[in-house]
Chains A and B, each alone.
Chain A
Amino acid sequence: MKNEIKNIFVIILKDLKAYYFKPATISWGILFPIVFVLIFAMKNGSNISSLIGGLLSMSMFFGSTSMTGTSIMMERKINVFNIYYTLPISYYGIALAKVLSGLLFGIFTALIMFLVSIIIVPIHIHNVSLFIVWILVSSFVFSSLGVYISLIVKEAYDAMIYLNLIRLPLIFISGIFMPIAVLPFGVKFFSYISPLTYSVDIADKVFMGKTFIGEGTSFLVLTVVGIFFLILSRNRVKSLRG
């Protein structure tokens, strides 16, 4: 167990060195969310403070999934992913290492966005502990999702396309720019199956002190979904071995 944890940590360190500053990670993980915030800041001025929670959720979503997408895509494309199968580490260990390296990048992105945002608008955090747990749990679930998608695509280089096919529509139906309550019934269904919705809901509690779904329910859903994708990713790591 001790060795397993150490090996997970070594893989995370390696991912930090190898992929954190790749153009795809930076552009989709950091620049894209910053541009979004700036666009909304220019259009809405100080009203952006009501959007800040959602924008930070979106940043974590893009950050975590971009990081996992880039690292797994690169490694699968050139058969380097095989290295993990020659190492004394379990399939869970491999999947968890990838999820955690995405999680760290998600946190990193969220903090950058937070710093950018507080320069533009005044931000008030209602509950600091909730803020920390929200960042951790949200990054975990987004990273798990990113790892799973990057592992299931047939051609590794398609990972980013598939990720964008999922990410971009979710921005508009997860309560970031428009409250879920006002969405049409058909769209609402998709809102409730989007993990981003639950992250945005907790963000609203953190920054505005109110929640639509309830922070307890949202945390529960995010945790279950995160673990679910982690298990699926572990199974996919095993089946990818051939």
Chain B
Amino acid sequence: MKYLPNIANIHAETELNLLLKRAKRKRTADIKEYLKDGGYLALEKALSMKPEDIVEEVDNSNLRGRGGAGFPTGRKWKFCLQNEAPRYLVCNADESEPGTFKDRLILERDPHLLLEGIIISAYALGVNRAYIYIRGEYPAGYYILRNAIEEAKKEGFLGKNILNSGFDLEILVSRGAGAYICGEETALLNSIEGKRGHPRLKPPFPVQVGLWGRPTVVNNVETLSNIPIIINLGSEGYKEIGPMDYPGPKLFPVSGKVKKPGVYELPMNTTLREVIFKYAGGTIRNVPIKAVFSGALDCLSVNELDTPMDYSQFGFGGTGTVIVLTEEDDIVEACYKIAEFYKHETCGFCTPCRIGCHEQAYLLEKIVKDEATPKTWEGLRFVTKYIQPTSVCGLGAVASRLIKQAMEKFPEDFAKKEQMSFVNI
């Protein structure tokens, strides 16, 4: 490698010392450091097991996807295994939701944890060619992964006949170029194939028809990094971490108006209030909290701070992203920024999302600039209602979600703005 770009100076803390054991330090752990910590022992153990037993262990561990949707990992694997080889494994390292920067820590600081997870998963799934698709904005992660893969090859953890088990695997790193939609699994597959990152219609799902038409498992960076932990502890041991229903370590990226923004590794029986006050140090200058955005997806009011950080119906699972807004921030303006994000990131493939996201941002801009008329408000209510049910993929399905929730939970803030619109008739 000719050079390594600087890695981000993100603050990290851990209660569990599993996912962030090495990544809590602000530097990259090389293979020597990883081996010293007992690295690749899980791989040795896994290679002595039958692939189907590993799948059972993962299924039994109740591990759920850490990329947003929270689909049970073991179940996804089993679906894929119903389809004939050759199969592919793809690691989704395209995290690009606003406020989400947790996978970055593993990619930049502990690449071998991820690689070990991928190698074990590939062995379980009968995969000989795996991919990591990393977003274009993470160049350091790209070079670090390429470098780590070379290190792993030299030690015999990758390549032909891994640790004399007869299992072969190569891991290839593919780079995105600034498209949020490529985090959607089918768009991601198109992007690896050198196409525009448009989503594909589902079904068929990637586990049936994925990369180059073959059955493909797409798992997030944090999800795959849990695999060595499950193998090391056994699924029963793993289930002892955190609450019974939602076991395992979870990374929570916390940003916005808090004293100690950063990534926190905690069990999922933590509440949102604890994350903000106990770990992230509370708000800047102790200004009261106005709202919490979970990325660009959900808007929570100050009455919902006891929400558990798990995958339950109203839980904070998925990416676990926490963006804190205080009384100093304007909720309508913040919604406009979210609308701008979706306007920028809609891929243009389906009409409701393409037109809707632009319209939504345009209308909110008028409202923020006090140029709105009652028609503007009527338009906003119409657009936010119809993007979701008429769009092709998940992006359109959530493009209005946060804004609608904010309108419900902060009616006074919006009413104040709407009052102004009558002046502009």
Q: Do A and B come from one complex?
A: no
Which residues of A line the B interface, CB within 8 A?
none
Which B residues are within 8 Å of any A CB, using their own CB?
Answer: none
